[in-house]
Structure 1
Amino acid sequence: MGYMLNGEELETGEEDFLLEANFSDEIVPVIAAAEGIKLNDDHWTVVNFMREKYKEDGSTPNFRNMLAELDDLHPGTDWKKKLYELFPNQPARQSARVAGLTKPYGKGGY
C-alpha cells in the first residue's frame, strides 16, 4: 500500500514506511489519517523534530534519545506520557512514519 499525494502514489515498504523520505507538509496528514491520528500542534512539534534529526543524522533517534532531546528542547512536558498519547503505536516508529520518513533502524525502543 502506498500513500497518494497530489495524484501520485508514494511507494512504501515494510510496515508502510516510505521508501524515500518526503519532507512535504502535505504528506503528514495523509499518513496520519491512515494511522488513525488526528493531528494537533503537539504532533507537528514531534514531526518537525523527527525530520530535523533525520536531516542531521540520516536516521531518527531511538525512544530514549527522543525523550531526552525533546525534554531539552521543550522542558516541562512529560514527554514519555505525551508521546504515547500522540503516537500510541510505538512512538519512535509511528512518529517517523507520520513524518514521512523511512523505516528507522533497530527496534525503535532502547
Structure 2
Amino acid sequence: MGYVLNGEELEVDDEDFLTEPNFSDEIVPIIAEAEGIKLTDDHWTVIRFMRERYQEDGHTPNFRNMVAMLEEQDDSIDWKKKLYELFPKQPNRQSAKVAGLPKPFGKGGY
C-alpha cells in the first residue's frame, strides 16, 4: 500500500509498517486513517511515548512493559483497557505503526 507524505511515497513492509522510522507528526494522521483510527489526545500521548521509547531504547516496549511504563506516568488511567480501546489490533504493534515506527520484532511480535 505505502503512505504518501508531501508527495513522496514512503517504503513499507508486507504489513504496511514503515521500513524506516518517520518522526514527522504529519505522517501520523495518514497512517491512522489507513488503520481506521480517529486520533484523540490519548492517541497522541501513546504515540509520543512510543516514539520516545524507540529513540531512547532502539525499539518499542512489549505490551506488558508498555502498560507498566504508562502507569508510572499516569496511574489514574487503566492503561491495559485504554490501549485496547485506542489501538484494538494489538496495541503495541498498532501504536508503533501509527507512530511511524518500523514493525516491532521479537517474541509475540514485540
- TM-score higher than 0.5: yes
- Give the percent of matched residue pairs that are identical in Structure 1 and Structure 2: 72
Aligned residues: 109
2:89 match: secondary structure: coil
Q: Deviations over 1:9-39 (max 9, x none)?
A: 0010031100000000000000000000000
Where structure 1 has 5 or more consecutive residues not aligned to the other structure, the ranges are none
Partner in structure 1 of residue 85 of structure 2: 85
Normalised to the residue count of structure 1, the TM-score between the two structures is 0.96
Task: Please give the root-mean-square deviation of Cα atoms over the aligned residues, in Å.
Answer: 0.8
TM-score by length of 2: 0.96
Distance 1:86 1:30 in 2: 16
The worse-fitting range, judged by mean Cα deviation, of 98-107 and 30-39 is 98-107
Question: In the alignment, which residue of structure 1 is the partner of 2:36?
Answer: 36
Residue 57 (structure 2) pairs with residue 57 (structure 1) = yes
Equivalent position SS for 1:9? strand
Paired position in structure 1 for 2:109:
108
CA distance, structure 2, for counterparts of residue 6 and residue 88 of structure 1: 28
Runs of 4 or more off by more than 3 Å in structure 1? none
What letter matches 2:11 in structure 1?
A: E
Deviation at 1:75, TM superposition (A): 1.3
Matched-pair contact (CA < 8 Å) for 1:11–1:18: yes
1:71 is displaced (CA, Å) by: 0.2
| 3-state DSSP of counterpart to 2:60 | coil
Cα distance between partner residues in 2 of 1:89 and 1:65 = 17
